[in-house]
Amino acid sequence: MALVGRDVGRLESTAAACRADGAKDVRVYSCDFASLDEVRVLALSLLDHLPRIDVLVNNAALVMQRREETVDGYEKVFAVNHLAPYLLTRLLLDRLVSSAPSRIVNVSSDAHTFGPLDPDDYMSTRSYKPLKVYGRSKLANILFTIELASRLKGTGVTVNCLHPGFVATSLGRDNKLGLLFVKLASPFIKKPADGAETVLHLACDDIDVSGEYFADRTVAKTRDYAKDLMMAARLWDDSAALVGL
């Protein structure tokens, strides 16, 4: 098992909990997805240490109250929520195919309903509304899933995405109003263990579909623009150019 995150202390704590539950080989990898170079180093380490990759779960995400750019010059939410997992998946893809049957699970959100992608302004330079920017990055996760599933057809690798629900995490920790809202809404928010149920379902249970969007362990509906095959193909090509593939 490989755990990836920015906070080494939290990684080690999670790894210890996994070992206590019976996991025999747990490795931790520190990586900031706001740096594509760090993602490339991470991929090399994973390929060096893992002869098989049975399941890849892309779960990293953030919401920013104000527009920021990464060291690569990209808008930070789009970079962390879409470009980094896109790059990591592409770099690990041969290993996933050689390990088939294997799975890729992309954690998206029903925030994709906040509006369609503008392929001429992925970086939100024209206007910046935090929830819309976040929602577009989660829409990118769905479109990436659709295109990747098409490209992996016949390989034995399935790829699906999901909405985990409204989960109590530190996702909006830089937003004071967001934190206040979460505190007020806490009776209605899922605990992390509950939010992980659909992730675990797609990672571990018998799944005979690929390229689908799930919520509450079942295939769910999306907006029509989340099924746009031409947009999915364009996003794939544009993302490849942005990350240097």
Q: How many domains does the chain have?
A: 1
- First CA to last CA distance, the chain: 27
Instruction: Please indicate, yes or no, if residue 142 is contained in any of the structural domains.
Output: yes
| Token pair listed for 103 | 């799975």
Q: pTM of the full predicted structure? A: 0.90
Instruction: Please indicate, yes or no, if residue 23 is contained in any of the structural domains.
Output: no
Torsion angle, alpha carbons of 227, 117, 230, 202, to 10: -40
Instruction: Please indicate, yes or no, if residue 207 is contained in any of the structural domains.
Output: yes
Q: Distance (Å, rounded) from C-alpha 212 to C-alpha 82?
A: 17
Q: Which residues are catalytic?
A: 134
Residue 64: domain span? 54-243
Q: Distance (Å, rounded) from C-alpha 237 to C-alpha 62?
A: 24
10-residue mean pLDDT series, the chain (245 residues): 95 94 93 98 98 97 95 98 98 98 97 96 97 97 98 98 74 51 49 81 95 97 97 98 98
Question: CATH code at 63?
Answer: 3.40.50.720
CA neighbor of 117 nearest in space, from 85, 78, 89, 87: 78
Instruction: Please indicate, yes or no, if residue 70 is contained in any of the structural domains.
Output: yes
CA neighbor of 103 nearest in space, from 155, 64, 63, 43: 155
CB atoms within 10 A of CB 61: 22
Sheet holding 213-215, edge to edge: 55-58, 102-107, 157-163, 213-215, 218-219
For 137, half-sphere exposure in the C-beta direction (CA atoms, 13 angstrom radius) is 29
- Rg, Å, the chain Cα set: 17
DSSP-derived pairing of the beta strands 218-219 and 213-215: antiparallel
Task: Write phi, then psi, for 127 (nearest 5 degrees).
Answer: -155, 155
Instruction: Please indicate, yes or no, if residue 43 is contained in any of the structural domains.
Output: no
Instruction: Please indicate, yes or no, if residue 98 is contained in any of the structural domains.
Output: yes
Instruction: Please indicate, yes or no, if residue 169 is contained in any of the structural domains.
Output: yes
Instruction: Please indicate, yes or no, if residue 46 is contained in any of the structural domains.
Output: no
Q: Distance (Å, rounded) from C-alpha 77 to C-alpha 60?
A: 10
